[in-house]
Structure 1
């Protein structure tokens, strides 16, 4: 059973998501010493303190999830670091918290450790369950051809910090069947931070993986993985850094199936350039984007979540996908999103309320999914349905441009439960076969027309006085146009001109179309 989300009216100051070091409980903004040998500290931050500008549509989802964990760079001191010198098939260190057995280096105590040099072997963290361990990579090259290169067996929180100006690499051949199934594998919370660079390669399975929370808060990180590039089982949070990801599976993933408050992905900042054979972002529960710059090229979904998906900030470009974004509850509340897909651009689907068969496995009845647009800019170029919901589509704000399919078996706008527009600007340019327009009960005026054009055609809308209300350039062949904005008044006459050919239309009147009752068929 899916969890009940906290109402949108919840004050942000009471939001429950916390980014915190697990070893210590502290008041927001406070700093407390942990039981670590290196005086590592920990703080907690509520959503409001992290970013008070997060729109309610996204803050609601974040506040319904469990606390996340991060170890920040200002919570430990590099001066406390003890050095581990890597030397080919062995290593050396004066630290009592380090043992070396052949090519295996084991950290056994809490603290800060600086790793430098080259190792053909493995670095293992086997510290007490309450320990906080920081591994500072400072010109470190670690390679293991028979398993994970860095493995956290036991600890509470572990951080991998990339020293300023340093270049580091971790190379491995892990196995999905092994206890440690990634080049960097942590059976704990894991934070990657710093300002240096790190290249991670795993020819067997995942790149960087944590069984608890994985947080990326800095560094220039390149990952090339046979399966998933970044995987935090309980959560995956990106707040900063420059990430270049190549994945044979998903690029960014969280897949905790046993707790409805975990298994989420939150992109709050940073720059991401990801190429994936499966999904770009894959969340078992929620996928939330509130900041950063994200470019995704995928063979499956650009962004996928099983429960809810929100874009409320940042800049998202999906250059290639099967379906652009998919979830049962989709919220576009801010930022800029550009989506290119070979099937549906935005697809609200996944509820199981309807099982009667038919198209999409659920017939044409409303099965409860929701697609809402309240802010931001959304541009969709889809070969399948442009905006598609097995339930409803609602627009209260924002700026949406949809270049829909050329084939007649898909629609630029497609809903089972109806389309309502009360604010924002919407233009949908595509085929006629399954064309649909907003409900007659929509609070904002809209117009629909059957007109023909091709890629490069100019679509212009003028009012009775000849004033240009809007103008668009089509990206492909089309046969219909739907437009809604605050400048349109129901019952008034407008002129829609395509490459000099004009058509008179009356706002609020649907044009006969194809399946689903045609444009305006939801009455």
Structure 2
């Protein structure tokens, strides 16, 4: 399992993407029958590749598969200790009092030296230190505890195996630390642990990270429950090996990353997992940052990253080093840079995701797949971008000032010309095999430096109407083999494939309705376009190649077209295609 993950991480830099069949190294792949392909169809454009292109879905983009490949994290569950065993520690301002021999009090420093359960209550202008046996489990119950340190962390775990912070029912707790740490300080957070740390309970905890981070564990940091509010000048919550939120309410306002896991030396660690709860994040840098994976399977997650900063400042909503897998929950992101980003791949399989981005809505360096869920890119420069994009289910709605859906990588030139446009097919793939996909782009609607293949689903593309951009644009073949495709814009790449289409040069305005009727007057397609257009393309199983169809806009102006003939499409700079098979005029 670990070997497979290491191979995947190395492959980010080692595997070229100029392949006609894209298979990510170390990833489980589907059979040839299960993969979406454009096999058997080739473009008539002389500039495009004549090799059939296959997209292989990376099964590791499923949340369960990603988690199975990662290390188990450590958690202290409530049934592993008893509140009846608790030793009272009373905080008395500048000192404390306790009857336990395991509690050492030196002025304003309280040190826990042995395994056990300890109840802390009162106020302390000092610090609490856990220095227990290496195999000790220590439970600290915070019961209306207020701990404020002026020269370091408020709570420090120096030695122990597992430590739990339990927020007593109905309690209100607060911790704060110094406002400055030395550059070489070993502990530099309001709550700092060199052991696995679990937070649970039904009370509340307010953390002020005045000098650096809010809560840090150099091992695993797990939130089971509680109402936790963190303000930090740098990172909010940091679990080096893993950061997990199962439930509770977590509110973070951080100058750096809000949630972070940065273990880069072990490919099975360094991940962030959100399974439930209500998570609200405001960050100066990334909202969620993981050296390896970000996995969300439930809960509500609201992220504002880099508010008021420029996109080139780099603040991303979610930033994953290997895989971002969102299979559940409701996620809303407003980011100065990319909203959802992975240096590897992104898999969306059931979450409801709404994003506003200063750059890309969803960006993956390798593969982006959407299998299910609702994905709304409300605003972006480029909506969806990856070297290989596979849309097979769910509802996708993209609004972009530049390209709506862009299959591009460092190996090719973005924004290729119509049907090749003199630029070579560099191997990227955009395959739509299911779902409902709506795209409104200021640049190309659907764009690929390689090929575009549509085999299923309902695909609606609107815009642009000029500027040399195309509603559907690929350096290689644009293949229609199924589904329903409705396009309003200015130009498209050369169309080919088994399914017939109707193309017409006809203009309309934002919100106009287009109706397609056959020679007998039977309406075979109706759709509304959210932007102005200078041409229309419609493809569906109901279209018969060679048949005559009437395209009507808003029940008024209409034109007649023959299925299979790609007519010249207007618009300034739009260029055009014409003739059967899409030959150039």
Q: Which band: TM-score by shorter chain?
A: 0.7 to 0.9
1:458 correspondence with 2:450: no
Equivalent-residue separation in structure 2 for 1:483 and 1:85 (angstroms): 75
1:422 correspondence with 2:418: no
Out of 188, 192, 204, the residue aligned to residue 185 of structure 1 is 192
1:344–1:83 distance in 2 versus 1, CA, 3 Å = same
1:228–1:488 distance in 2 versus 1, CA, 3 Å = farther
Equivalent-residue separation in structure 2 for 1:275 and 1:197 (angstroms): 19
Out of 220, 233, 237, the residue aligned to residue 230 of structure 1 is 237
Secondary structure at the aligned position of 1:147 is classed as coil
Q: Is the 8 A contact 2:154 2:175 kept in 1?
A: yes
Deviation at 1:85, TM superposition (A): 0.3
Matches within 5 A, 1:190-339: 190-299=197-306, 300-327=315-342, 328-339=344-355
Secondary structure at the aligned position of 2:225 is classed as strand
Larger radius of gyration: 2
1:108 correspondence with 2:113: yes
Equivalent-residue separation in structure 1 for 2:116 and 2:534 (angstroms): 65
Worse-superposed segment, 503-512 or 231-240: 503-512
1:207–1:460 distance in 2 versus 1, CA, 3 Å = farther
Equivalent-residue separation in structure 2 for 1:161 and 1:116 (angstroms): 12
Equivalent-residue separation in structure 2 for 1:484 and 1:94 (angstroms): 81
Equivalent-residue separation in structure 1 for 2:349 and 2:29 (angstroms): 13
Secondary structure at the aligned position of 1:94 is classed as coil
Secondary structure at the aligned position of 1:95 is classed as coil
Equivalent residue, structure 2, for 1:355: none
1:340 correspondence with 2:359: no
Equivalent residue, structure 2, for 1:7: 28
Query: What count of residue pairs does the alignment treat as equivalent?
Result: 447
Matches within 5 A, 1:93-172: 93-172=98-177
1:227–1:489 distance in 2 versus 1, CA, 3 Å = farther
Out of 83, 86, 98, the residue aligned to residue 88 of structure 2 is 83
Q: Is the 8 A contact 1:149 1:183 kept in 2?
A: yes
Q: Is the 8 A contact 2:61 2:345 kept in 1?
A: no
1:412 correspondence with 2:396: no
1:499–1:198 distance in 2 versus 1, CA, 3 Å = farther
1:206–1:397 distance in 2 versus 1, CA, 3 Å = same
Please list every run of 5 or more consecutive structure 1 residues that lacks an aligned counterpart in the other structure: 10-53, 350-368
Deviation at 1:346, TM superposition (A): 0.7
Deviation at 1:348, TM superposition (A): 1.1
1:319–1:79 distance in 2 versus 1, CA, 3 Å = same
With the length of structure 2 as denominator, give the TM-score of the two structures.
0.69
* 1:24-56 CA-partner distances (Å, limit 9, x unpaired): xxxxxxxxxxxxxxxxxxxxxxxxxxxxxx997
* 1:307-327 CA-partner distances (Å, limit 9, x unpaired): 111110000001343111111
Equivalent-residue separation in structure 2 for 1:191 and 1:508 (angstroms): 65
Equivalent-residue separation in structure 2 for 1:182 and 1:216 (angstroms): 17
Equivalent-residue separation in structure 2 for 1:459 and 1:499 (angstroms): 10
1:95–1:144 distance in 2 versus 1, CA, 3 Å = same
Secondary structure at the aligned position of 2:229 is classed as strand
1:399–1:85 distance in 2 versus 1, CA, 3 Å = same
1:119–1:113 distance in 2 versus 1, CA, 3 Å = same
Equivalent residue, structure 2, for 1:401: 397
Equivalent residue, structure 2, for 1:370: 367
Please list every run of 5 or more consecutive structure 2 residues that lacks an aligned counterpart in the other structure: 9-25, 31-58, 307-314, 409-427, 454-477, 491-506
1:431 correspondence with 2:442: yes
Deviation at 1:383, TM superposition (A): 3.0
Q: Is the 8 A contact 2:95 2:108 kept in 1?
A: yes
Q: Is the 8 A contact 2:514 2:554 kept in 1?
A: no
Deviation at 1:75, TM superposition (A): 2.2
1:225–1:447 distance in 2 versus 1, CA, 3 Å = same
1:238–1:480 distance in 2 versus 1, CA, 3 Å = farther
Secondary structure at the aligned position of 1:61 is classed as helix
Equivalent-residue separation in structure 2 for 1:58 and 1:64 (angstroms): 10
With the length of structure 1 as denominator, give the TM-score of the two structures.
0.77
Equivalent residue, structure 2, for 1:24: none
Deviation at 1:404, TM superposition (A): 1.1
1:462–1:499 distance in 2 versus 1, CA, 3 Å = closer
Q: Is the 8 A contact 1:316 1:338 kept in 2?
A: yes
Worse-superposed segment, 426-435 or 144-153: 426-435
Q: Is the 8 A contact 1:386 1:404 kept in 2?
A: yes
Equivalent-residue separation in structure 1 for 2:173 and 2:550 (angstroms): 62
Q: Relative contact order (alpha carbons < 8 A, sep ≥ 6): 1 or 2 greater?
A: 2
Equivalent-residue separation in structure 1 for 2:157 and 2:92 (angstroms): 21
Secondary structure at the aligned position of 1:345 is classed as strand
- Runs of 4+ aligned structure 1 residues displaced above 3 Å come to 1-9, 432-435, 440-444, 451-454, 457-472, 477-515
Q: Is the 8 A contact 2:333 2:354 kept in 1?
A: yes
1:99–1:500 distance in 2 versus 1, CA, 3 Å = farther
Equivalent-residue separation in structure 2 for 1:468 and 1:150 (angstroms): 66
Q: Is the 8 A contact 1:469 1:487 kept in 2?
A: no
Deviation at 1:303, TM superposition (A): 0.4
